[in-house]
Amino acid sequence: MSTAGERVVSAPPRGPSPLASGTWRAAGMRQAVLVEPGRLELREVTVPVPGSGELLVEVQCALSCGTDLKAFRRGHPLFPMPAAFGHEFSGVVAKAGDGVEEFRAGDAVMAVPTAPCGSCFFCGRGQENLCPEAIERMVTGAYADYLLLPARVVKHNTFHKPPELSFEQAALLEPLACVVHAQAMARRSRAETVLVIGAGAFGMLHLLVLRHGGVRKIVAAGHGAQRLRWAEELGADRVIDAFREDAAREIAGLNGGHGPDLVIECTGQLAGWRDALARVRRGGRVVFFGGCAPGTVLDVDTRRMHYDNLSLLAPFHFRRSDVRAAYDLLRCGLDGAQAIINARRRLAELDEVFALLERGEALKCAVIP
């Protein structure tokens, strides 16, 4: 991790919580900042003071995310640099601001980093996932000792963590809400054959939710022997090495030779989008879940689009109902959720986290302050 810049610290001892001494207003904490693509700094900053309706949360777990990896590699429009980094988290309330009645210090909580305004054009049409206020005020900075949750997030999208749920599983709430939203748009059916392209963390979460929903046949296509083994262990009925020469023919043979009913693309690469469009059966649906780099253009064969009666969907983010559904899935027990988190590192080892992800040696890494 870079040590350049003012007030950058490498790995100060954690020690007791500064809140315990009553000096929390002036106490320092560690926070990871993405300074530029490929360059992270662990800085010492002042612990925030929770205002009215806000919560100060002591982070117990922050999870690595594919969006974080994309930002680390090339930057991301959602995270103008320098950016406090990390947005999947769970923790314990350190201090509640005035007016907060639902939570108090010591409560274990799980939350997502956004909440809709409830009054804009999109919220009025049931498209809270497109609310500008939600995205523009997204909470980042979970790779840190403490995180401040704004009043809107506290009110709408923060929950008590059930005792039987680990902090690692609780931190899956945000990515799982994205998956729930996408599958709600796709209107998947139990009787279908579903192809998931991409055997990364999001591909595996889609697989788990499909399996939980009783989908008849789930096929995972990806590359890398280890990732395909993970997909098989997590319940894929069939795994296909996408780099094999006969992969396209094998996929075309699914579903009685008609191909998959539903294809969910999770690579976030243009080649993956093209492949998803090419593999779906006539009358089928494609979910472009993985976001590509800005300026990427997808060419669509309009004749096939029209005469094969295809439905192309591009879900983004989530609504409050999706967050609640994701919470209920975790609370009731989503089989395999813990297995997706297959690496753990300390906050001071954050550079190593992204190296693990780059090498494909982990699906999700739990960052423990």
| Structural domains in the chain plus CATH codes | 18-171+336-368 (3.90.180.10), 177-313 (3.40.50.720)
In this prediction, residue 70 carries a pLDDT of: 84
pLDDT at 296 over 50: yes
Work out the pLDDT band at 343, boundaries 50, 70, 90. Answer: very high
Question: What pLDDT band is residue 25 in, cutting at 50, 70 and 90?
Answer: very low
Mean pLDDT of all residues in 290-308 = 94
Q: Say yes or no to pLDDT of 2 above 60.
A: no
In the predicted structure, residue 137 carries a pLDDT above the cut 80: yes
pLDDT of residue 18: 38
Alpha helices in the chain (DSSP H): 66-74, 132-136, 151-157, 167-170, 173-186, 201-212, 225-233, 247-252, 254-257, 270-279, 302-307, 320-332, 337-340, 350-358
List, for residues 174-202, the tens digit of each pLDDT value. Answer: 999 999 999 999 999 999 999 999 999 99
The closest of 110, 335, 315 to 205, measured between CA atoms, is 335
Average pLDDT of the residues in 92-97: 98
| Calpha distance 161→215 (Å, rounded) | 28
pTM equals: 0.91
pLDDT of residue 261: 98
Give the model's confidence band at 80: pLDDT under 50 very low, under 70 low, under 90 confident, else very high: confident
